[in-house]
Amino acid sequence: MTRFDYDLFTIGAGSGGVRASRMAGQLGARVAIAENDRIGGTCVIRGCIPKKLLSYAAHYSEDLEDARGFGWTVEGASFSWHALIASKNREIARLEGVYADALKKAGVAVLRGTAQLVDPHTVEISGKRVTAGNILVATGARPVRPAIPGAEHAITSNEAFELKALPRRVLIVGGGYIAAEFAGIFRGLGAEVTLSYRGEQILRGFDEDVRRHLHDEMRKKGVRILLRSAVHAIARRADDSLEAAGVECDAVMFATGRAPHTAGLGLAAIGVKLDPQGGVVVDRFCRASLPHVYAVGDVTHRVALTPMAIREGAAVATTLFGGTETPVDHDDVPSAVFSQPPVGTVGLTEAKAVEKFGRVDVYKASFRPLKHTLSGRDERTLVKLVVDAASQRVAGAHMVGADAPEIIQGLALAVKAGLTKQQFDATVGLHPTAAEEFVILREKAQLRD
């Protein structure tokens, strides 16, 4: 019987890789994990967690203004980018320690260095070769930098978390969720923000009403949005400022998508099939085209969300060492955009529902939140339900407004369970909340041609 050094060797200590390795270790497997950077991956180190911490910080400028409508007077308030980043760094270091401790407790060996596959059972790391019965690729994705003149002058979301100072003027190139989120962060912290997107509307792939509503709300907050706008070059000016697409600024940030991090891993050389974007092609059990090789998370170029990477990692561990082949369900996965205001969504967009069912019923409402009747702020919330006309099953729920991600997480249970519009109608609303709007929607919206 062939004896390997490990039962599982994981490349990448992000959310998916750590979950798979921990569970495999707890199930009795001999596990090692390789990481050439900090433990925690994109989510913990340079993604979800630091981004939301900065988003919280960006809300305080409006909160202080709104307080006046409720009788509070706040004098002498000031903001320190240095203090914010220092606080963020302390929390990220703490979480990195939590992840490392969890691996240690599960008996997982952590190997530092860049790993490369030699064959389906062999990995080379820092000049040393180790063998494993199974190999898991969990290397995530990286920001894409367009190949344009002057691209070296720009930053990506990776560098945005470590800027020495808050730029006075920022140009964000892109129209996806990262662009929308950082536009809100920089604007809320006091910067002048321009967002340049080559498409017809921001947030491609989201529901059309959501896209338009967020665009309008971002514009109200002072974000300048240029649609059908392309950045072909970035120039450094004599005063050390930058110019791109006719916009003068102090920083240009690319938010133009992310690509699976597979370069240099040796996957294609050993016969692992990759998609045109470089993602590892896997089946519903996260198995690659080569036996004993698995992949989870953003490197598979499927649903690029941390909870999905965690779910996939757990499924691989259970399949290999838990005695149960476990597929991963990618339907009705809730997602959020921590823009200002935030977006929460689960299930099908109106367009996708029409494509799938043919006939759909749509219910939606736009309203001024109770808070802003006293704050005086011109901000509106959007709620929307998309219903299969034949079965009356709620196929999609969408929201733009304060607490949207928190509210949609609860609605995700209803959508996943296949609840009908009649069951929504039979549910008593919790008053006064924005969430209650989802159970008091009664009038169908007129569908677009």
Catalytic residues: 431
Cα dihedral 294, 299, 303, 307 in deg (nearest 10): 80
Residue 106 amino acid letter? A
Cα dihedral 155, 161, 162, 165 in deg (nearest 10): 90
Residues 6 or more apart whose Cβ sits within 8 Å of residue 193: 169, 170, 172, 183, 186, 187, 222, 223, 224
Say how far apart CA 393 and CA 389 lie, in whole Å: 8
Residue 132, CA distances (Å) to 4, 69, 366 in order? 5, 63, 55
- Residue 177 neighbours by CB distance under 10 Å: 21
Could you tell me which residues are beta bridge partners of residue 173?
Answer: 196, 254
User: Do the beta carbons of residue 355 and residue 406 sit within 8 Å?
Assistant: no
User: Do the beta carbons of residue 156 and residue 44 sit within 8 Å?
Assistant: no
Could you tell me which residues are beta bridge partners of residue 258?
Answer: 143
Helices 208-220 and 350-357 sit at what angle, rounded to 10 degrees? 170
Say how far apart CA 116 and CA 130 lie, in whole Å: 11
Phi, psi of 283 (to 5 degrees): -95, -170
Say how far apart CA 63 and CA 55 lie, in whole Å: 13
The tokens for 319 are 């399949």
Whether the upstream peptide bond of residue 146 has omega within 30° of 0, thus cis, is no
Residue 195 amino acid letter? L
Helices 48-66 and 177-188 sit at what angle, rounded to 10 degrees? 40
Say how far apart CA 55 and CA 157 lie, in whole Å: 13
The tokens for 111 are 């190997």
- According to DSSP, residue 253 is labeled E
Output the furthest CA–CA distance in the chain (Å, rounded).
76
- E-only strand ranges, 310-412: 335-337, 343-347, 360-367, 381-388, 394-400
